[in-house]
């Protein structure tokens, strides 16, 4: 009987031995390379099953800035359907506001403070038609406002001197001259649902003197975001009630 060759020389019928040897060598090299890569990537093998275990480093390095705390949670800033629902206040039935007709950005909400002012400061941004009440911790409560028409606006730094609930409104003489029908209120219009000052008013003083400007409510919710008042800053009645509850009546005011 003729002996088979004793070397790597393949038999004549297909070279199967050489292919097997070639593939085996490749598999070994590939496997070794994969293990090397896993090792270099911070992985190690488990002691019992031989499966790779990922070693994660959860350390936050100094190059990663800390995340800002989440926006505050406030029980009075919820869904618009709750914030602008009808309510009874001091005997007055304040109607609900059809909030879907109010642009979302003008609805009461908590935002990141960008004013740079101290907590407690009221900042009225005339161009944005926004009022910000700065909060501790980097937040602000934002309300949409209506502002004065051209020629009726005031800007500067002042303070809230005092506030009134359902205030009396007395039109100034120059307004009565422009609108003679207001003469009936020259002695003051009592507070109520049709009163132009709405449910609350905050009176702005500068250097101890009345500026004549107010931050107040308004039954005309559709005027929010508009420039149509005689210079005062107006809010939705539900919003001025909320703002009024948060101020000390001596808060600094910045109108810009």
Catalytic center residues: 216, 232
Question: What is the spatial distance between Cα 91 and Cα 199, in angstroms, rounded to a whole number?
Answer: 11
For the beta carbon of residue 4, count every other beta carbon within 10 angstroms: 8
Question: What is the spatial distance between Cα 72 and Cα 86, in angstroms, rounded to a whole number?
Answer: 25
Q: How far is CA 21 from CA 17, 222, 229, in A?
A: 6, 84, 91
Question: Rounded to 10 degrees, what is the CA torsion of 189, 194, 198, 204?
Answer: -40
Please name every residue paired with 133 in a beta bridge, in sequence order, or none if there are none. Answer: 122, 141
- Would you call 132 helix, strand, or coil by DSSP? strand
Question: What is the spatial distance between Cα 119 and Cα 115, in angstroms, rounded to a whole number?
Answer: 10
């Amino acid at each position: 009987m003729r002996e088979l060759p004793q070397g790597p020389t393949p038999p004549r019928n297909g070279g199967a031995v050489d292919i097997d040897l070639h593939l085996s060598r490749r598999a070994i090299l590939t496997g070794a390379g994969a293990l090397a890569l896993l090792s270099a990537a911070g992985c190690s093998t488990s002691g019992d099953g031989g499966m790779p275990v990922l070693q994660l480093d959860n350390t936050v390095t100094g190059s990663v800035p800390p995340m800002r705390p989440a926006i505050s949670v406030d029980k009075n800033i919820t869904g618009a359907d709750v914030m602008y629902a009808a309510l009874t206040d001091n005997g007055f039935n304040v109607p609900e506001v059809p909030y879907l007709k109010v642009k979302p950005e003008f609805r009461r909400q908590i935002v990141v403070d960008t004013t740079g002012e101290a907590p407690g400061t009221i900042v009225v941004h005339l161009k944005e038609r926004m009022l910000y009440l700065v909060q501790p911790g980097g937040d602000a409560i934002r309300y949409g406002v209506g502002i004065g028409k051209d020629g009726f606006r005031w800007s500067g730094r002042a303070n809230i001197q005092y506030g009134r609930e359902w205030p009396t409104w007395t039109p100034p003489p120059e307004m009565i001259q422009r609108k003679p029908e207001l003469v009936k209120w020259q002695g003051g219009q009592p507070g109520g649902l049709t009163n132009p000052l709405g449910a609350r008013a905050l009176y702005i003083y500068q250097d101890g003197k009345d500026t004549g400007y107010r931050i107040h409510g308004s039954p005309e919710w559709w005027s929010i975001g508009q420039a149509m008042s005689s210079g005062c800053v107006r809010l939705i009645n539900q919003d001025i009630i909320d703002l009024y509850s948060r101020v000390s009546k001596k808060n600094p005011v910045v109108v810009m």
